[in-house]
Amino acid sequence: MNVAPISKAALAETIGAISVRNVTQLYGEPGSQQAVLALDNVSLDIKRGEFLTLLGPSGCGKSTLLNIIGGLALPTEGSVSVHGAMVHRPSPDKIAFVFQESTLFPWYTVAENFGIAFKYRGLARSEWRDRTMAALKSVGMAEFIDHYPGQLSIGMRQRVNLARGIAAGTEILLMDEPFAALDEQSRMVLGEDLSSLLAEAGKTIVFVTHSLAEAVFLSDRIVLMTARPGRIKSIIEVREPHPRSPGFMLEPRFGELRNACYASLRDEIRQAMAIAEGKSEAAL
């Protein structure tokens, strides 16, 4: 029987974008009272073009896992691969980050902040302005290209941060609570922008949040994590095409998914609070 060869594209699709295998992260010396087991034997496959959200109580290792995926930290045990290649260090040509806090240099204009990233990646200077403008247009910030960060509101600065992640041109975008400092209205608008971005660009996005509603509105899949040490408790699929409109939030299915997330996390949140209270008492 003749078997047709597998194309590189088909093979990449089979491999997926990101593979997390048996990742454990321990901070401190094993066996010591100060040692903290942040993650315990986490395995996860993330598909190309998928919006996947890590959702769980404070201190469950969401940001730690994101940093390991992006090569900002190495796991104590286990491994992460991106497009089949093992992750040992940051790869700005493959993975872009958007953090909770603004990472814009205040003494540079928006355009100059983009230029720093482009220079680091070795992009031709002739491309800088066009790429910056295109990314800013996608988040409604093109008219502020020559402004300084101090002239922008918190929400506007975070739009610029999102645009800079877009302009990086990477397939994978890692986002660590990027809207946490924003008001609810701004979060909803930026959520719509992000959903549109996924529909248009097909980026693979791994997103960390504490917001149940945000997770349901944005995600293709929601990974629910236990209290520390972080493990995967369950995964919820959101079968809703992108881009998503605010009308999705009014549908019964949205409420059902949000309630399912809370029901799964309720005991984990209480446990995380108990851990935090115990740690506070021990410090007295």
- pLDDT tens track for 100-136: 777 889 999 999 999 887 877 777 788 888 889 988 9
Q: Which two tokens stand for residue 223?
A: 């990974």
How is the chain split into domains, by residue range? 48-63+182-283
pTM, to two decimals: 0.86
pLDDT digits (tens, 9 = 90+) for 139-149: 888 999 999 99
The pLDDT score that the predictor gives to residue 279 is: 64
The pLDDT score that the predictor gives to residue 230 is: 95
Run of H or E including 46: strand 36-46
The pLDDT score that the predictor gives to residue 39 is: 96
The pLDDT score that the predictor gives to residue 172 is: 92
The pLDDT score that the predictor gives to residue 284 is: 39
CATH of domain 48-63+182-283: 3.40.50
- Positions in the chain whose pLDDT score sits under 50: 1-14, 280-284
Do β-strands 18-27 and 172-176 pair in parallel, antiparallel, or remain unpaired?
unpaired
Sheet holding 221-225, edge to edge: 95-98, 172-176, 204-209, 51-55, 221-225, 232-237
Cα angle 86, 91, 95; round to 5: 100
